[in-house]
Amino acid sequence: MNEHEVRGDRGMDTLSILTTHAPDQDRAALGRAHCHAALRKRDRRQRVGRVPPRVSWRRAVEPAIVGALCAVYLFEVLSRALQLYRF
């Protein structure tokens, strides 16, 4: 880009009017307060030795059911392929 192109470029003129943005002081303070509260809560849990949550039956059984259905589907696909190609 030469000097003439820089002077006639509207994009460069637009860039010169852009300003930097800083967060609103109240919102920034609120965000920091939320972060500090979360960190304090995490530290308290680590010091106390938090009891792991109970595993619900849904979280334990659902993956097994889905895995079984996937295995059945895969078996059916393979058996149909064997029938089709007569192995």
Per residue in 14-26, pLDDT (tens digit) is 877 888 888 889 9
Would you state the structure tokens that stand for residue 69, as one six-digit string? 């259905």
Q: Amino acid letter at 52?
A: P
Instruction: Return phi, psi of residue 76, to 5°.
Output: -65, -40
74, HSE (Cβ side, Cα atoms, 13 Å) = 6
pTM of the predicted model as reported, rounded to 2 decimal places? 0.38
CB 12 within 8 A of CB 6: yes
pLDDT band at 73; cut points 50, 70, 90:
very high
